[in-house]
Amino acid sequence: MENIKYITENFGKYDISSIDSYMSIGGFEALRKAVAMDGDAVAAVLSEAKIKGRGGAEYPMGRKWSQARAVKRPHHCVVCNADEGETCTFKDRELIKNDPFNLIEAIIIAGWTVNAEDAYIYLRAEYAYLRPRLINAIQQAEEHGFLGKNILDTGWSYNIHLYSGAGAYVCGEGTALIRSIEGKAGRPRMKPPFMKQSGLFARPTCINNVESLSIVPHLLRNALPYMQAGTKESVGTKLISVGGNVNKPGVYEIPFGISIRDIIYDLAGGVQEGRNIRLVQFGGASGKISDDRILDVPYSYESFTANNLIIGSGSVLVIDERTSVIDFLRYTQDFFLHESCGQCTPCREGNRHIRIFLEKIKNGIHTDEDIRTMKTFATVMPMSSLCGLGETAQNALKSAFTIFPEVFTVKKSAGGI
């Protein structure tokens, strides 16, 4: 199977340091088309393509833009979430590296659609080496009249600002992200107010991640190839990050509907040294897991929902038989224990205690009461945590209760009182 190209169509086709080179392959034609349209018409294009947010939340993008546009307050702003912090997720990095001008064009189109005055790119700390690439693209867009005052003689003014994070996973959550830009501690806040009404600097705010935005110019230029790919409910193509114990880890663009088997054994070259699969995790550390019974399930929103999985950030992490289920869960729990901001008790204490229970299971000293308590914590955390970290931190564990119940079995002693 060949890696298809729609979202990645521009990769390798132009000099990424030159806006003129980008324009030679049709760059900024989508923006010219967008400013000749009403913002609602642009949002309608996204709704017709059934695009869901590609950062993990899977919220319909056309609906988000329509709702943001409908807020009757001045000084709207757009935020590009480039804080790609999920483990085994690195697709947004490839979009910034290989097609920076397309991302800038997309952010400008988003601003036009929602009537924004400013945009902010929040770049992951580990991607600091990509800052010069984005700064160059922003500056050249300004020089060519695509940013600044009276863009393309529309009377509309708009600017893009670049901010860098400090390496906090929780800042991928929208409210924590905007607090970080504001110079505050990157901790989530309560909602409402929702960000479309009061977000960054208390302004109406529309947030999308890099992949979600990057699709937009391609759709406005030519939506037909996208609309013809995928399934009825999961239209088009998706960027996925495949990693772990595979022969060819990397970023692949796939049509929705291909099987997990095709992804792992065709695109990613199979499992290293022909080993058996222990488990596969989808959607990053906060994603759910399954065993090799999932291999023939199509990669689509509807199929994943039917199989109690989530596409999330688009990662596919393959773990072979050398790693036990409990060890995998321990490593995942270490990640969340480290990355929890500690603001709310269910997440702070729940992650800490579940890590203790997993260590007891590893050492074979757990009890039936330990398992019951751990299941209670894993159930309560999603219902009572303030943000997505605490809500999803136990997705892998809860999946394991169902898929691998034997690893939680309490061994009874043969003798004794």
Q: What is the pLDDT of residues 261-285, one digit of tens each?
A: 999 999 999 999 999 999 999 999 9
CATH number of 19-226: 3.40.50.11540
Per the DSSP assignment, residues forming a β-bridge with 77 are: 118, 205
2 confidence band (pLDDT: 50, 70, 90): low
Nearest to 49 by CA among 213, 219, 209: 219
Query: For the segment 194-212, what is each residue's pLDDT rounded down to a tens digit?
Result: 999 999 999 999 999 999 9
Residue 26 near residue 291 (C-beta atoms within 8 A): no
CB count, 10 Å around CB of 129? 8
pLDDT digit string (tens) for 317-375?
999 999 999 999 999 999 999 999 989 999 999 999 999 999 999 999 999 999 999 99
% of the chain surpassing 90 pLDDT:
90
List helix spans (H) across 224-266.
Answer: 224-228, 260-261
Q: Is the pLDDT of residue 414 over 50?
A: no
Instruction: Of 175, 207, 180, give the one whose Cα is nearest residue 54.
Output: 207
pLDDT of residue 417: 39
Question: pTM here?
Answer: 0.94
For 78-125, the pLDDT digits (tens) are 999 999 988 899 999 999 999 999 999 999 999 999 999 999 999 999
Kindly report the CATH number that applies to the domain delimited by 325-408. Answer: 1.20.1440.230
Nearest CA to 215 out of 30, 385, 386 is that of: 30
Cβ within 8 Å of residue 412, ≥6 positions away = none
Lowest mean pLDDT among 3-7, 82-86, 155-159, 281-285: 3-7
- All structural domains of the chain with their residue ranges: 19-226, 229-320, 325-408
Q: What is the mean pLDDT of residues 382-407?
A: 93
Least confident of 45-59, 93-107, 212-226, 253-267: 45-59
Q: What's the pLDDT score for residue 3?
A: 67
Architecture per CATH, domain 229-320, reads as Roll (3.10)
**pLDDT of res. 148:** 97
- Report the percent of the chain where pLDDT is more than 70: 98
Looking at residue 416, what is its pLDDT? Answer: 42
